[in-house]
Structures are given as C-alpha cells and as structure tokens.
Amino acid sequence: MYLIVGLGNPEKQYEKTYHNLGYIAVGDAAEKLGAKFKKKECEASVAEAFVGGEKIVLARPLTYMNNSGRAVKQLMAKYKIPPENLLVIYDDYDLPKGKVRIRAGGSAGTHNGMRSVIGETGLTNFARIRIGIRDEEVNIPIINYVLSEIRKDDYELYGAACKKAGEEAAVFASGETIEKVMGKYN
C-alpha cells in the first residue's frame, strides 16, 4: 500500500497559489491513476486507486499547510504505511520555478508544511517531489509570495510541472523503487 500526499491549503482562495502546487500535482496523479477525491478521513480529502492489486491512497490534508503533518501521521497509522511507501509533493522555494525534483529523503528546507510532516511523523526517510517556485524577478517576503496567485504568464510552466510530478508519483506508486524513479526523472 502507498500513500501519496499533496500539500496545500483547502480553501478556494488558495486554489491557484504557489503553495497549492502539491494539491494540484496529487490531483494530476489521481487522474493518471483513475481515482477521484470522494471522501474525507484523517483530516484529509482522500482518493483511492489500485495498481496491480496494490492499494494507493492519495490525500490532500485539510489542516492547512503548517499542520499538514497531522493528516499524514493519521493516514500512515490508519493504513499502516511504511516510510518507504510514503510520497509527499510540495512547492519548494529552494528550487528555480518550474523545476521538478524527486528525492528519497532529506530535510524540510524552508517549507513549513514539510516541517510539520517531519515533526509529526518523526521521519525524514520518505520520498518527496518538490516543485520549484523561486522566481528571481520577485522580491517580496516568501510568506507573501507562496500565498500569492501564480502569475498568468507561468500557468503553462506550472501546469506542466504538476503533470510531471503527478506522473512521477504514479510511477512510484506502481512499485518502482525511488532510486529508479529518480534515475528516470531527475
């Protein structure tokens, strides 16, 4: 069983913000896997898919970004997800805009949602897909930037990045090792 989590904020006002790229990408993964977000459990909106008989749980925490770890911890406990079968997708200010990177583990960097996930689960050894949002042309505080609406000129770039992240997540959930997924996409 696999758990794919896209970080973001649940309200409509955040829908097209940089901080919701994880929500968008997990939606793309769900679409690729033929799943729909139909139920709410463990403080998350949840979709389920099956690949080769293996259950895949896709989630969008409803706890807001800074408390995302609560939902992840609850879902991992409910579905007995081992760390190696957890994948978290999120926006990352430490990467240039539109870049997509998959990693086998690491720190939270500057991301409060990932700090929450790591703090609540006590884990750093889980896969993550980071979607870069740093724009050298923007000179505002990070908190204001991540909660601002994506610039219309960049819709296509971020749409492609989210689709790529969703595809990577679907490949990971099909049973490929994180190392193979990294080798294929990074």
Q: Which residues are catalytic?
A: 19
Q: Are 5 and 55 in contact (CB under 8 A)?
A: no
> How far is Cα of residue 121 from the mean position of the Cα atoms in its chain?
16
Among 179, 181, 173, smallest CA distance to 54 is for 173
